Amino acid sequence: MPGPLDGLVVLDLSRILAGPTCTQLLGDLGAEVIKIESLAGDDTRTWGPPFVLDAQGAPTDLSAYFMSSNRNKKSVAVDLTDPEVQRMLHDLAGRADVVIENFKPGGLKKYGLDHETLCAMYPGLVYCSITGFGHTGPNRDKPGYDLMAQGYGGIMSITGEAGREPMKVGVGVADVVCGLYAATGILAALRHRDATGEGQHIDIALVDATMAWLVNQGLNYLTSGVSPMRAGNAHPNIVPYQVFATSDGYVIVAVGNDSQFARLCDYLGQPGWAGDPRFATNTARLRHRETLVPMIAGQLAARTMQDVIDGLEARKVPVGPVNTVEQALESDQAQARGMTITLPAPQTAAGEVRLLGNPLKFSRTPVSYRSAPPSTGADTEAVLSRLKRDL
C-alpha cells in the first residue's frame, strides 16, 4: 500500500544524525530518499563498534549508529568537488521535491548547491538547511554537534544530580528532535508548495530546537526569572514524581494529583500522610519535598519492584519499572507495537539486520520498511543511469 508521501523525491545531502533522522522518517512515510555520500561514506559508518559483520566475520560499513537513521534510502557515493557530479546533483535537485543538507552556512555555495542557487533555479523546491546555530546570529559560523547543542541550549544545566556535574541526555536527543522539527517544517512547506506552487528555504538550528524543547523548564525561568537547577530524577513542579529504589531494582512513581497521592499513602500503609497539611496538596508537597521524599523512599526500599508495581497499579497510581534497553525492546509491549523490525541485508553474515520501528500507526497509509540501510554507494550506478536516461 502506498505511503502518505508516495511519489515524493528527497535529495539528501545530510550526514550524522539530525538530517538522516528527518529523511528516514520521510522515507518511512513513502518518499524516495536519495542519500548523497562522500566516497568514504557518511561519517557515522565508522562510529563503532558495534558493526554488522559480513560472512567472513569482518566488520562491514554498517555501524549500529549509521543503521539507526538510514533505512529506506538509496546511497550514491560521489566526489562533490567534481564538476560533473555537481551538474548531476543540479539535475537531481530539479527532479526532487525536497533538498535537505547540514553543511556549515555557505558551505555548499562553492558547488552551486546552496539554497539561493537551487531555489532560484527551481522555484517549487523545498530546501531545508540544518546547522548548529542557524544561518543568522553571531554564532552562525560555529560548528554544531549534539553535545554542544545540549550544553549551549540549557538542557545539560538541568540534567543530572544536584551538586554534581551537568549531564547530557543518554542519546543524541538534540539531533533527533531537530530532525523531527525539520520533517514537520518540510511537510508544512510542501503543503504551501502544493497550494501555491511556491517553494521555500527552511533554516533550522540544533540550538534553537534544543531551546524549544526546554518546555516547562524554559517557562519556569521565563515566568519566575530564576534558572532551574539540576534535581536528578525529581520533577521541578510535581511531588512525588521520580525514581525510587526497591529491594531488587528501581521504579518510577508519578503522582500527578492529590487523589493519586492519597491512594499512594494507602498502599504505603500511611493514610494519615494524605491529610497532613505539609503534604495534602501538590504545592505543599513541593515546599516539603525534602521531608516527604525520604519518608516515601524508606517505605519502598524493602519492597520488591513487582510488589510496588502491582500494588500501585491496583490503586490506579501511575507506576512503572526502569527498564534496561534490552528489557524495553524485548518487552511484550514493544513486540505488540512493532517497535523492533527485521529487514533483509544480504551483505551481512546473518542476511538481515534488526532495527528500531517507526512509532506512527496510520489507519489508512501505514509506514513501510522497504529497504535496510545501504552499503556505501550501493545505488550509485542505478541512480545515475536512471538520471541519464531521463535527460
Mind listing the pLDDT tens digit for each residue in 109-143? Answer: 999 999 999 999 999 999 999 999 999 999 999 98
Residue 4 domain flag: no
Catalytic residue among 175, 208, 258, 332: 175
Q: Has residue 370 been placed in a domain?
A: yes
Domain termination residue (choose one: 286, 301, 324): 324
In terms of Cα–Cα distance, which of 181, 196, 200 is closest to 127? 200
Q: Is residue 236 part of a domain?
A: no
Residue 228 lies in a domain: no
Is-catalytic flag, 175? Answer: yes
- Confirm if 202 and 185 have CB atoms less than 8 A apart: yes
Regarding beta strands 340-344 and 51-53, do their DSSP bridges make them parallel or antiparallel, or are they unpaired? unpaired
Please report the pLDDT score of residue 387 as a whole number: 84
* Claim to verify: residue 293 and residue 340 sit in the same structural domain: no
The pLDDT tens digits of the residues spanning 330-347 come to 999 999 999 999 999 999
Same-domain pairing of 307 and 349: no
CATH number at residue 103: 3.40.50.10540
Which residue, chain included where needed, has cell 538542557?
155
**Grid cell digits, residue 51:** 558493526
Give the residue numbers spanning the domain of 296.
241-324
Per-residue pLDDT of the chain (391 residues; tens, 9 = 90+): 789 999 999 999 999 999 999 999 999 999 999 999 999 999 999 999 999 999 999 999 999 999 999 999 999 999 999 999 999 999 999 999 999 999 999 999 999 999 999 999 999 999 999 999 999 999 999 988 999 999 999 999 999 999 999 999 999 999 999 999 999 999 999 999 999 999 999 999 999 999 999 999 999 999 999 999 999 999 999 999 999 999 999 999 999 999 999 999 999 999 999 999 999 999 999 999 999 999 999 999 999 999 999 999 999 999 999 999 999 999 999 999 999 999 999 999 999 999 999 999 999 999 999 999 999 999 999 999 888 887 6
Q: Can you list the alpha helix ranges (DSSP code H) found in the chain? A: 18-28, 64-67, 83-95, 115-121, 146-152, 173-196, 206-212, 215-224, 258-268, 282-287, 289-300, 305-314, 325-329, 332-336, 380-390
pLDDT of residue 391: 63
Residues 169 and 274 in one domain: no
Do the domain assignments include residue 234? no
Is there a single domain that holds both residue 144 and residue 16? Answer: yes
The model carries a pTM of: 0.94
- Total domains, the chain: 2
- Do 348 and 209 reside in the same domain of the chain? yes
- 3-state class (DSSP) for residue 245: strand
284, 302, 324 - which closes a domain: 324
Do 60 and 97 sit in the same domain of this protein?
yes
Residue at 219 is within a domain: no
Of 324, 344, 371, the one marking the end of a domain is 324
61 φ, ψ (degrees, to nearest 5): -85, 15
pLDDT digits (tens, 9 = 90+) for 242-278: 999 999 999 999 999 999 999 999 999 999 999 999 9
In sequence order, which residues have a C-beta less than 8 Å from that of residue 299 and are 6 or more positions away? 268, 269, 270
